[in-house]
Structures are given as C-alpha cells and as structure tokens.
A and B are shown apart, each in its own frame.
Chain A
Amino acid sequence: MTEEPQPPDLKEFSDRLRKAQGADVPDPRLSRPFAPRGMGVAFRVATELVAALVVGGGFGWLLDGWLNTRPWLFLVFLTFGFASGIITAFRAASRISAEADTPGN
C-alpha cells in the first residue's frame, strides 16, 4: 500500500470551497441530487384518496359494530373519509405548488 498524500488542510480547503461556491450561482443539480417530484406526487395523491375512504369506512364499520347501528355510522364515516381524502390531497397539492413557486427550484 502506498501512503496516500495527506490533504493539506481540510478546514482551509472547505473555506476555499465555500468561497468558490458563493462566488457564482450554485448549480441546482448539485445542491439537490435527484428529487423526482412529479411522479411521486401523482402516486401520493391517488393513494391518499383511496386510503382515506378505507379508513373512514373502517372506522364507521367498527363504531357500528360497537353501537349496533349498522349501516348508518359506516355511511357517515365513509363521507368523512372522502372529505378527509380530498383535504389531504388538497394540502399536498398546495404544498407542492408553493414549492414550485419558490425560486431556485
């Protein structure tokens, strides 16, 4: 094994690096390695809607079994689940559009 040349001074190097990076506009590809947003967002919103329906319906079903009111709470909570899915999807979408509006993205 050959002895690797020791780096001169890491602190000094990082100072120089920072100065060099500040000197010109940083390449966005460097600061953000790979952020595949669009496709992930599509998957995300779609499952969010379905899962909220399932959870809402499931809650209602369990409460029905407990209170002996089948099928009424199931129907009510299915509606709640649908609303919750829409809200979650809306929040995700508005968050994403807010990110898209900020410069440097």
Chain B
Amino acid sequence: MEEEGPLEQFRIHELIPIHFGSLNASFTNSALFMVISIAAVLLFLTLSTGARSLVPSRWQSLAEMSYGVVANAVKDNVGMEGWKYFPFIFSVFMFVLFANFIGLLPVPGKFTVTSHIIVTFGFAGLIFVGVTLIALFRHGFKFFGFFVPHGVPPYLLPLLVPIEIIGYFTRPISLSVRLAANMLAGHTMLAVFAGFVVALGVFGIAPFLFVVAVYGLEVIVAFLQAYVFVVLTCLYLSDAIHLHHE
C-alpha cells in the first residue's frame, strides 16, 4: 500500500476490472467484502443450527439469539401482521451485523461495507420504496391521509402537510446516514489513535489503552446500529400496515 492515512481504509479499489462501455461494473474490494459477509452469515447459520439439538450448543444459541432479537423487534413494533416480512428483516439484520463486525477485524485490507453511504442508502431506499408500496397496496388512496395530521384546524394544514411529507422523505436519509456515519466515525477515530500509538513511542501506551476502550465501544456500536436499523425498518413497516404515526 502507498500511504496509510486514517481514511485509507475506506478507499475502494478494483480487484477484477469489468467494464461495459462507460459502465464500470468492476468487482471491487467492497463487493468482495459483501460476498464475505453473506458467506459468513450463511456459514454461521447453517453450521450452528445443523445439529438442531434441543439443548443448544453455544453456536446454536448464538444463532437462536440473533433470531430472537429480530423476532422480538418485529413482534413488538409491527405485530403479527408484519410476520411475513420477517425473512427480509432478518436477512438485512444479519448482513448489516456481519458487515459491521467484519469491518472491525484487525486484518490488513479489511473493508467496512456499511461505512459507505451508497451501500446503506441502497438498503434504506429499498426499504423506503418497499414500505411505501406495501402501504399503497394495503390502503390505496387512504395512504395519503397519513400526511394529514388528526385534530388540527384546517387552516394549519398547508403548513403541516409539507412538514409531514418532508418527515416521510427524511426516513431513508436518516436511516442510511446514521449507519454509515457511525461506522465511518468509529473506524476513523480508531485509525487516528492507532497512528498516535506508534508516533508517541513509549508514551504510546496512553493512546493504546484508549484504542482498546474505543474498540470495545465499537463492538457495541456495530451491534447497536444493526439493531437500530432493523427496529426503524420495523417502525416504518408498522406505519405502512397500521397507517398511523409510529
């Protein structure tokens, strides 16, 4: 590698160049780590639940816990009407969770897929469009009543309806920015302080201890952000199904 700045870890480079005319569809390190994340999820879930014992092993109970976290999020926030969307929500959760954790591995050349806003926006945009379509198919034109708040004098509506509409379109932005910004900020901070460790020589022990502490925090954040992403997906789905605000 050339220079190793704290932002170097977010650089995308082409591993297998694929070009269709002006379209660059190369297989990048980002794509590679997406494949690794999916493979890791598949391996984790198939290997850990392969035994299907009544008393779960450690791996199996990990798999059951991740199922339980998402299942409870769906049940608490959407109710049983949302159960048919559980496979999608669980897949999103596992992918984001594993991409976050794989980005934390102290391996040279590692890449955090979820630190790039286009990836998280891809998910958030898909969820936004999907949830809107669900609402439209379920409620038809009544869906647009979602933007008209109840119990408000009519002369305030020209003010409140645009606000509600902006609020609706904010969802994919805030959903994607939150995840990407958390990953970006945490990893940059880790890299900056890790750089101090070498630069300060003996006194590098202070930033070293800090990095250890922040790394612990980042592990929590990696899980938490995957969880928050899924909970908000559930809330949006709940709005689409029940058609009242959160």
Contacts and interface: CB of A to CB of B under 8 A. Distances in A.
B231 A40 contact: yes
B245 A91 contact: yes
Contacts of B170: 48, 51-52, 55, 81, 84-85, 88
B146 to A, nearest CB: 13
A46 B68 CA distance: 28
Given A33-B68, A43-B225, A91-B246, A48 B162 contact: no
A44 B228 CA distance: 8
Interface in B169-183: 169-170, 173-174, 177-178, 181-182
Nearest to B178: A47
Contacts of B53: 4
Nearest to A52: B170
Interface in B122-177: 162-164, 166-167, 169-170, 173-174, 177
Nearest to A95: B246
Contacts of A59: 166, 169
A25 interface: no
Nearest to A40: B228
A4 B52 CA distance: 11
B72 interface: yes
Contacts of A43: 178, 182, 224-225, 228
A28 B6 CA distance: 42
B92 interface: no
Interface in A59-105: 59, 77, 80-81, 83-85, 87-88, 91-92, 95
Nearest to A81: B166
- What is the interface of chain B mostly: helix, strand, loop, or mixed? helix
Interface in A20-39: 31-36, 39
Given A48-B170, A54-B173, A36 B72 contact: no
Interface string B174-194: 100110011000000000000
Interface residues of A, number: 32
Contacts of B164: 84, 87
Contacts of B65: 33-34
B209 to A, nearest CB: 22
A40 B54 contact: no
B69 A33 contact: yes
Contacts of A50: 174, 177
Nearest to A86: B163
A81 B65 CA distance: 39
Interface string B211-239: 00000000010011101100110000000
A1 B232 CA distance: 45
Contacts of A35: 69, 72, 227
Contact of A55 (B68, B166, B232, B245): B166
Interface of A: 4, 7, 31-36, 39-40, 43-44, 47-48, 50-52, 54-56, 59, 77, 80-81, 83-85, 87-88, 91-92, 95
Q: Nearest 6 A-B pairs (CB), nearest first?
A: A51-B174, A84-B167, A47-B178, A51-B173, A40-B228, A84-B166
